[in-house]
A and B are shown apart, each in its own frame.
Chain A
Amino acid sequence: MQINKEKKIKEIDQEIEKLKELEKREKISLDDAINALMERKKSLLNKLDFWDRVFLARHPDRPYTLYYIENMFAEFTQFHGDRLFGDDLSMITGFAKLDGIDVCVVGHQKGRGTENKIERNFGMPHPEGYRKAARIFKLADKFNIPIITLIDTPGAYPGIEAEKRGQAVAIAENLKLMFKLDVPIIACIIGEGGSGGALGIAVADHIAMLENSVYSVISPEGCASIIWRDASYAREAASNLKITAKDLIELKVIDHIIKEPAGGAQNDPRLVYDTLKDHLKNIISELKDKENLKAQRIEKFRRLGIFK
Chain B
Amino acid sequence: MNWFSEHINIKSLWIKCKSCGSSVFQKAFIENLYVCPKCQHHHFIPVYERIAMLADKGKFKELWEDVSSEDFLDFTINQQKYSEKLSITEKKTGNRSAFIAARIRMNGRNVNLGVIDFKFFGGSMGSVLGEKFFRLAMDSIKRKRPLVVVSASGGARMQEGIMSLMQMAKTSAVLSLMDDAKIPFISVPIHPTTGGVSASFAMLGDVIIAEKGALIGFAGPRVIEQTIKQKLPDNFQKAEFLQECGMVDMVVHRKDLKDTIARILGYLCK
A179 and B172 contacting across the interface, CB-CB below 8 Å? yes
- Assembled-state Cα–Cα distance A247/B74 (Å): 13
> Measured between C-beta atoms, what is the minimum distance from A266 to chain B in Å?
25
CB within 8 Å of B: which A293-308 residues: 297-298, 301-302, 304-308
- B184 at the A/B interface (Cβ < 8 Å)? no
Contacts of B130 in A (CB 8 A): 304-305
Complex CA gap A172/B151 in Å reads 15
Q: How long is the Cα–Cα vector from A205 to B130 in the complex, in angstroms? A: 19
- B156–A218 CB distance below 8 A: yes
Interface hits, A215-252 → B, CB 8 Å: 215-218, 222-223, 226-228, 240-243, 247-248, 251
| Cβ-based interface call for A283 (8 A) | no
Among B70, B77, B163, B201: residue with most chain A CB under 10 A: B163
Residue contact A298 to B177, C-beta cutoff 8 Å: yes
Contacts of A240 in B (CB 8 A): 73, 75-77, 159, 161
Is the C-beta of B2 less than 8 angstroms from some C-beta in chain A?
A: no
**A28 close to B (CB within 8 Å):** no
Residue B10 CB within 8 A of the other chain? no
A100 within 8 A of B: no
Interface size class of A (residues with CB under 8 A): 35 or more
User: B224, A169: Cβ atoms under 8 Å?
Assistant: no
- Nearest CB to that of B71 among chain A residues? A306
In the complex, how many angstroms separate the beta carbon of B137 from the nearest chain A beta carbon? 11
Q: Check A158–B78 contact: CB distance below 8 A.
A: no
Interface residues on B, range: 35 or more
Give the shortest distance, in Å, between B39 (CB) and chain A (any CB): 26
> Taking the nearest CB of chain A, how far is it from the CB of B169, in angstroms?
5
Q: Is B198 an interface residue (CB 8 A)?
A: yes
Q: Does A261 contact B (CB under 8 A)?
A: no
Known contacts A253-B163, A306-B163; decide if A158 and B75 are in contact (CB<8 Å): no
Residues of A within 8 A of B176 (CB): 176, 179-180, 298
Contacts of B201 in A (CB 8 A): 172
| Chain B positions within 8 Å of A306 at CB level | 70, 72, 127, 160, 163
Are A168 and B217 in contact, CB atoms less than 8 angstroms apart? yes
Interface string of A25-36 (1 = CB under 8 A from B): 000000000000
Contacts of A23 in B (CB 8 A): none
- The answer to whether A302 touches B204, judged by C-beta atoms less than 8 angstroms apart, is no
Question: Given A215-B162, A217-B162, are A160 and B236 also a contact pair (CB < 8 Å)?
Answer: yes
Q: Could you name 26 residue pairs across A and B whose Cβ atoms are closer than 8 Å?
A: A156-B199, A162-B218, A163-B217, A163-B237, A163-B245, A166-B203, A168-B194, A176-B176, A195-B156, A196-B165, A196-B199, A216-B165, A227-B77, A227-B158, A228-B78, A240-B73, A240-B161, A241-B73, A241-B161, A251-B163, A253-B166, A302-B173, A304-B169, A306-B72, A307-B127, A308-B67
Chain A residues within CB distance 8 Å of chain B? 156-160, 162-169, 171-173, 175-176, 179-180, 195-196, 199-200, 203, 215-218, 222-223, 226-228, 240-243, 247-248, 251, 253, 297-298, 301-302, 304-308
